[in-house]
Amino acid sequence: MAKTGPRLHAGGAGQRELNAALSGREPDHGSLAALLRQSGLKLTPQRHLICQLIENSDGHPTAEELYESATAVMPSMSLKTVYTTLNDLAALNAIRLVNVGTGGFRVESNLEPHGHLVCRMCGTIMDIPVNPAIEEELAVPPEIEFEVEQREVTLRGLCRSCASKQGEGAGA
């Protein structure tokens, strides 16, 4: 079964909106592009496009998926620019780069505490709320002297669609 990545698009109004956004117009306050500019990093049209693709993503895109979508709009985009922009955004704590075991890292733009459900057949990744009380259960005993900087909860199994397909195949 072929994996399909998250839908990536540059914005709701299509090419006209994208062209306006890339023409030098100031990015919306609070956007990833604005954060890059506020931090003193140069906001090139390529970086602006990458930021828009992340903000309008339906999921957890890989750098390669962002690159593929970006080159459809801007053929001069380089994969290095995608990686550099992602690393800059991660350094600013605007996104997280997570590894959920599906190959490479994925862009996590939801910075609220949550976990992930990962389908082992199709690779779908879904955010799920995590009870804050679990933090106490996952605490490292003080005698170990280890400072936890990040906790990740990942549950693996089958999404509804793959579970139903597997069930159909079992009776055949």
Q: Give 136-169 pLDDT, tens digit per residue.
A: 777 888 899 998 887 788 999 999 999 998 877 6
112-170: same fold as 15-98?
no
Domain ranges of the chain: 15-98, 112-170
The structure tokens listed for 106 are: 């994925």
Of 16-25, 58-67, 123-132, the range with the lowest mean pLDDT is 16-25
Q: Give 69-95 pLDDT, tens digit per residue.
A: 999 999 999 999 999 999 999 999 999
Contact between residue 107 and residue 60 where contact means Cβ atoms under 8 Å apart: yes
From the centroid of its chain, how far is CA 2?
20
Q: Per CATH, is 112-170 categorized as 3.20.20.80?
A: no
- The CATH label, of 2.60.40.10, 1.10.10.10, 2.30.130.10, 3.10.20.30, for the domain at 15-98 is 1.10.10.10
The pTM for the full model equals 0.75
Closest C-alpha among 140, 110, 137 to residue 125: 110
